[in-house]
Structure 1
Amino acid sequence: MKITKTIFAILLLTIFSTSCSSDDGKDGVDGQVGATGTANVIYSAWITAPAAAAETIDGTSGMSTTINAPELSDDILSKGTILVYVSFGIGTYTLPYTSTAGGFVNTITAISTLKKIKLFRYRHDGGGTVGLPSTLNWRYILIPGGVAAATSKEAKLDYTKMSYEEVCTHFNIQK
């Protein structure tokens, strides 16, 4: 019996030592790092919104309109990032966007809900409203919460603090 155990041990040792080689486990040739893509990022074309109407939200009077965002899911609402941009003659701006129009400081903001984005413009002084022209162009970018960061540097990016151009470059989105 002792001879059988010894032969069995030698046989196992031989099998393990010959089945592994020093070449096993070597890494293959590394490929080039690809450009950051848009695999999970959703973005709209530039769109115009329907005519705005007067509305009061949380006690604030303003003008509002709504654009459809069919890809805007509960999952993105709870875990993702929603970026909305307005574009008009002089540039493209991230919402919320504050300016002086009609002689009053006002803000255009986006209120996101399932499959919709409400665009709301209100005056800071609470008096009256400032129009929300249907000639403005809007675009949204939806970044699901499950989009993994490629590097620790990328994990620290705050897309809400990036310009429209920086976000488009980062996600390889045609401007």
Structure 2
Amino acid sequence: MKTTISKSKYFLLALLVAFSFSCSPEDGEDGADGAIGATGTNGEDGNANVETYTYDISALTGTTINISTAQLTQDVLDNDGVFVYIQRNSNYYPIPGTSFNDEIKTILINGAIELTFYDRITGASVSIPANRYTLLKMVIIESNNTTTGRTSATAKQQALNDLNQAGVDPTDYYAVCDYYGIAY
């Protein structure tokens, strides 16, 4: 039995020595690079420069309401296109604009959106009750060629031109979302 264990030890030791000498620490030469593959197809353009923000305004009442929004910075106002839509029932209406009998004046200022409501026919101020309007959606389209002295009207006009050239109605919230790949 002792001889078998001794022979096994020598055999394992011989294998260990053989393996240690058979492995070389140097790396072999790299082979030649293969041929360059065919260029793949371009992916769909994304919407990295378009953001949408949703605000619950269902509890707000009065003739003028203010919605605070940190995303509406002076830089955005000066350089980007901003579209605002208001939801009544399940429909979205572009603002400034008209929703049913309400004419909605919209002022975008640094850090806030101010909405003032008027009767569409008489022009008199109208106090809106809670739940008349449920959501406000703001879509910010980053200008892709801002230059010194550019105004927000110019940036918005650029966004409008892009939408019109693509056959998209900018007053249709769903069409704008579809064009930019934004979830409703």
Report if TM-score (shorter chain) is over 0.5: yes
Q: 1:157 — aligned with what?
A: 163
TM-score normalized by the length of structure 1? 0.61
Q: 1:3 — aligned with what?
A: none
**What is the rounded CA distance, in whole Å, between the counterparts of 1:100 and 1:162 in structure 2?**
15
8 Å CA contact 1:41–1:143 kept in 2: the answer is yes
* Structure 1 residue corresponding to 2:52, chosen from 28, 43, 48: 43
8 Å CA contact 1:69–1:117 kept in 2: the answer is yes
Which residue type is aligned with residue 173 of structure 1? Answer: I
Q: 1:6 — aligned with what?
A: none
The reply on whether 1:138 has 2:149 as its aligned counterpart is: no
SS of residue matched to 2:163:
coil
SS of residue matched to 2:54:
coil
Q: Which has the higher strand share?
A: 1
Structure 1's unaligned 5+ residue stretches are 1-25, 54-62, 149-153
Aligned-residue RMSD, C-alpha: 3.0
CA displacement, residues 11-52 of structure 1 (integer Å, 9 cap, x when unaligned): xxxxxxxxxxxxxxx996142331x43312221124226533
Q: 1:20 — aligned with what?
A: none
Structure 2's unaligned 5+ residue stretches are 1-35, 147-159
CA displacement, residues 84-140 of structure 1 (integer Å, 9 cap, x when unaligned): 111121511111232453xxxx4113210111111111235343x223233112111
Q: Which structure: larger Rg?
A: 2
SS of residue matched to 1:156:
helix
Question: What percentage of aligned pairs have identical amino acids?
Answer: 22
Q: 2:43 — aligned with what?
A: 33
